[in-house]
Structure 1
Amino acid sequence: MPTQPAEPAWTVPADDRAPLESVRFHGLKSGPKLLVLGAVHGNETCGPNAIARIIEDCRSGRLLIARGEVTFVPVANPKAYRQNTREGDRNLNRDMYERPQPVDNEDRIGRRLTALLREHDMLLDVHSFRGEGVPFVFFGPENNAGELEPFRHDAAELALAACLGVPVAIHGWLDNYVKIIAARKRLKLPPLAVTEGYGTTEFMRFSGGYAVTLECGEHTDPASTEVGYAAIRNTLGHLGLIDAAPPPSALDTIIHMTDVVICETEGDVAEGGWKTGDAVPKGAVLARRTDGSTVTAPSDGFIIFPSKTAKPGEPLYHFGVTSQRKP
């Protein structure tokens, strides 16, 4: 594969009023409608870089969209991307819904993104992360008619997660977000709403489609662009938008997030050098409280998103166990 460009492969106007840019390819045969997003968080440039290469492949004929439609939004948050920051005014991947009266940058973008999400059948949202760790993918719940996240495409969504070429898949995000809300209430901290756990993938499920969030690797690692590029190509083949053999699953670990441990006071900190996806044995010390007490793994499992910078009311880490779900 080609190497990552030395500079970001997509440019945006230096104006907060600039429109979102999308590129859409329409196959000449019927098929599904895929949306691919990059730079929902502005300092995660692997998405724009990978998408730019895929667009060039499509324009040159190296890739031929034979059926269905694919829409690329290389930079979903231009202000944050231009600033090379995670956020413009706030986290775009939280509290996403259509606001009749937008008040900030992410509100205004969200109005357009939610309309795009409603137009499509499935979403691949390309991200990266701080620190070391293996690439992984977030996917959603099993089919259910519950109040929190009703859903009816669990098999198709897990199959999409499995095709991307990464070794780890994780589910259970929104259930754990409800636990964060409860912990903040117990600590008498400013409340959060369940909708604040909603981002692009949750909105796509709410709209009747299915979606995954791909975490390609560390922000500045050139390999992250390679992971994103391969995942987009795999998705196009998996969905039949291009004529390519369906890629085999690369998943070897599926994790069900089951708990979250919250920073309760300043000085609480995640322990050790754990990384997302690391297997931890029962009793392993995962966090240390300000008073010197420790928080340990309740069973054999996995640590997810450990944080040494968590503030009171924020997660020190999430905990998960081996999932019973199979692709």
Structure 2
Amino acid sequence: MNDNTTPSSLTVYQFAGLQTGPKLIVLGAVHGNETCGAVAIQKIRQDIEAGMLPIERGTLTLIPITNPLAYQNGRREGQRNLNRNMQVTATPQDFEDHVCNVLCPMLAAHDVLLDLHSFHTPGIPFAMIGPPNNDGELEAFARADEEEDFARSLGVHRFVEGWLDTYARGVYERQDRGVDANINYGMGTTETMRRMGGIGITLECGQHEDTAAPELAYAAICKALVHLGMSSSGAPSEPGSPHQVINMYRVVDRLHPDDQFCREWRSFEVVKQGDLIAHRKDGTGLFADQDGWIVFPNPSAQVDQEWFYLAKASSRLSID
């Protein structure tokens, strides 16, 4: 769909079990070109309404299209990235600010968030998890064990940590270049959820056009409902391959449109220390500084925005 009408509302479905239980909110299409969550959420809604998936405990809130402006235009963003700088503001400046003013209070009214995404380049699905328990200033957290258990229930075996720390370091680098950047710009849906006392997982369900991505998203919602005790319909996750935990530690911005990757990269492709990853416009090479992985390589990245991330093996063992 593509027209010039600016949406004026969000479509929200809510189902309340007759027994008390947790409050789960599931989001799709936070980025408008990531449609697997929207497809899965509509199928979940249909199955609930048809009596095929009873919600017995707690409250389930479904938002299939969280950024309708971006979605109707088939783009990642409407007027800016909704999954950055999430906060309520008295003076909204863009469409996403208006969405945040509605969405943030809704997140605060729930206990658990499942945010369904997809990614640009081919790769295997994974879940983004929050930090270990800590009392630091950036992302204090006290529910890591619960969040890890929830992440394990969703049916994927790769987990990525370190988002907000990494993004904060990237913001400092932008500020050093004279770019106007705010630490809070790294705050997305799950970071907002944790700040409000809940737990949240971003589930990256596969490449944008992968037909298996909506199926994985649908299965993950079902598994989440069983794990949280909200529905007895469906099977919980079964033991499978060992869990892999990866620590994201560096973000590299694109500084000029002529910055180019040295080749086509896949997300989570292994890199060795010294491997050439890309060239700046002036020919300067960008190399891996240690063994690990390249994450979210985006050949279409805008100037002064995230171009790719580097990750390494995590020392965090509690999720194994």
Short-chain TM bin: over 0.9
CA change 1:274–1:262 in 2 (3 A) is same
Structure 2 gaps of 5+ residues are none
Cα-to-partner distance string for 1:100-153 (whole Å, 9 max, x where unaligned) = 122221111111100110000010011112221111111111111111111111
**In structure 1, the residue corresponding to 2:266 is in which secondary structure?**
coil
Shift of residue 278, structure 1, vs aligned partner: 1.6
Alpha-carbon shift at residue 76 of structure 1 (Å) = 0.9
- Alignment match, 1:8: none
Identity level (%)? 41
**Offset, 1:265:** 4.5
Match of 1:94 in 2: 84
Q: Determine helix, strand or coil for the equivalent of 1:95.
A: coil
Q: Secondary structure at the match of 2:55?
A: coil
2:250 to 237, 252, 259: 259
Q: Report the more deviating stretch, 225-234 or 75-84.
A: 75-84
CA offset at residue 290 of structure 1? Answer: 2.9
Conserved? CA contact 2:7–2:68, under 8 Å: no
Equivalent residue, structure 2, for 1:283: 274
Deviation, structure 1 residue 220: 2.2
Letter in 2 for 1:275: R
Deviations 1:146-202 (A, max 9, x none): 1111111111112222221123211111111111112112222x2210111111111
RMSD, aligned α-carbons? 2.1
Check 1:103–1:223 CA distance in 2 against 1; reply closer, same or farther (3 A cut). Answer: same
Whether 1:52 aligns to 2:42 is yes
Aligned to 1:5: none
What runs of 5+ residues in structure 1 fail to find an aligned partner?
Answer: 1-10
Off by >4 Å, runs of 4+ in structure 1: 11-15
Aligned runs of 1:151-170 on 2, under 5 Å? 151-170=141-160
TM-score for the superposition, normalised by structure 1: 0.90
Structure 2 matches for 1:298-309, cutoff 5 A?
Answer: 298-309=289-300
> Judging changes above 3 Å, is the alpha-carbon distance between structure 1 residues 19 and 258 closer, same or farther for their aligned structure 2 residues?
same
Counterpart mapping for 1:31-70 below 5 A: 31-70=21-60
- Equivalent of 2:288 in 290, 297, 306: 297
With normalisation by structure 2, the TM-score equals 0.92
C-alpha separation in 1, matches of 2:3 and 2:153: 34
